[in-house]
Every structure is written in C-alpha cells, then in structure tokens.
C-alpha cells in the first residue's frame, strides 16, 4: 500500500494544523485560507488528503517521524503497534468534532476534565453540578471553536495556563487562591478559538440588590 493511502491520525491532523498556523504567521496564508484548509484537515481520512493542504507552501513539511512512521507501516508487521495511553484515572474526556456539547444540571464533576474539540461549541455549567473536589483542573485543546465555563457565585478561576494562538480568553470571575465552592485551573491550547469563564447571568445584579 502506498503511504499516501494510509489513514491519518489525530496527532498528524494536529501537526498539520500547527504547520498551517506557521504559514499564517509567515504571511503565506490568510485567515480565510487557513480556515478552509483546516476544514480539509479535520475531514481528512488519508495522508494524501492532508498533504494537499501543504503542497504549495514552500519550506512547510511534515516532521520526519511521520514520514518514518509511514515507512514502518508499509513494512511487514513484526510486532503489535503500541496501544495509545488513556487519560489518567479520574479524568473526564469531552471530545467533539463540529458539534455542540454541553453539561448542565446535576452532572458529576471529577477532579480533572479534558476538552478535546475541533470546530465545536462547548458549554460547561457548574452552577448545579455535583463536585467531588473544590479544585478542578481543566485541560483544553481546541481548534476553531468556543468554550464557555459557567461557575457558581463566589467561585474562582485561573486561566493563566492557557496558550492562545490567534484566540481570545476572557475571565469574568474572581481569580486568586480558592476560597469559594469551586476553583477552576484551566490550562492547554486554543487555536483560533475563544474561552470565556463567567458567572450565571444576573449574578452581578443580585449581588447589587443584596
């Protein structure tokens, strides 16, 4: 089988996305062209599909390990492929592709959450959630999407661990050491995305009236 016909992995899609971001930074692609090519990458099934978004970009190439991986996969099988490591115990994974994802009401919140999304809208409402720990760690890896975290009054959040690439982050809640019912520690990467942490609508007015 030709290496171009091999199935493409999420890791390869992410790597190609990083190459396209590099091309935007070097002025070789506009944001519109980046969005169109990322659509192709996210829908790609084979290496030939992802290679076509890089073919006209000088100096932008797949990392050698992906080329080597293709050669290994073409060779006769000798040993089983390693099984990908699963998320750590106690971690909830929220994964979506071009989807609307939400958690609200009395959903159970573990000590750690992992958001892995592409071109999706994610809303996590913690106001009525069942918490197992005061501090919840959230790791985000999002492309071309939006993530909204709604926390109860008196909750705090730390989003300093976010690495945004052409993205926006906005925390409308208190920061600092945890002292309320919930403290979110948000880390990870945003690629042409947005992240918002806020209290429920009307919280400021209710506090004013009190």
User: What six digits make up the tokens of 161?
Assistant: 């661990």
Query: Is the pLDDT reported for residue 170 higher than 80?
Result: yes
Q: What whole-number distance in Å separates Cα of residue 207 and Cα of residue 152?
A: 13
Q: Can you tell me the mean pLDDT for 113-126?
A: 95
Domains of the chain, by residue range, sit at: 3-74, 91-209
In the three-class reduction of DSSP (H, G, I as helix; E, B as strand; rest coil), residue 66 is classed as helix
> pLDDT digit string (tens) for 130-156?
988 999 999 999 999 999 999 998 899
* Separation in Å, CA 179 to CA 97, 108, 139, 154, 174: 35, 21, 21, 8, 10
What band does 181 get if pLDDT is binned at 50, 70 and 90?
confident
- Per-residue pLDDT reduced to its tens digit, 13-60: 888 888 888 888 788 888 788 888 888 888 888 888 888 888 888 766
Q: Which pLDDT value is given to residue 84?
A: 42
Separation in Å, CA 6 to CA 85, 89, 199: 22, 32, 46
């Amino acid at each position: 089988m030709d290496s171009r016909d091999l199935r493409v992995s999420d890791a390869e899609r992410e790597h190609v996305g990083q190459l396209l971001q590099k091309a935007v930074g070097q002025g070789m692609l506009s944001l519109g062209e980046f969005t169109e090519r990322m659509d192709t990458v996210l829908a790609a099934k084979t290496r030939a599909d992802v290679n076509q978004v890089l073919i006209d970009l000088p100096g932008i190439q797949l990392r050698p390990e992906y080329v080597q991986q293709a050669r290994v996969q073409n060779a006769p099988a000798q040993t089983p492929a390693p099984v990908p490591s699963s998320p750590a115990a106690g971690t909830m994974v929220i994964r979506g592709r071009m989807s609307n994802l939400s958690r609200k009401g009395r959903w159970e919140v573990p000590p750690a959450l992992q958001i892995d999304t592409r071109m999706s809208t994610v809303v996590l409402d913690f106001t009525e959630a069942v918490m197992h720990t005061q501090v919840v760690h959230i790791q985000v890896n999002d492309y071309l999407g939006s993530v909204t975290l709604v926390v109860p009054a008196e909750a705090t959040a730390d989003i300093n661990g976010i690495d945004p690439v052409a993205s926006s982050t906005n925390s409308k809640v208190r920061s600092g050491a945890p002292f309320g019912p919930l403290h979110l520690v948000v880390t990870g990467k945003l690629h042409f995305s947005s992240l918002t942490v806020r209290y429920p609508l009307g919280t400021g007015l209710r506090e004013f009236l009190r």
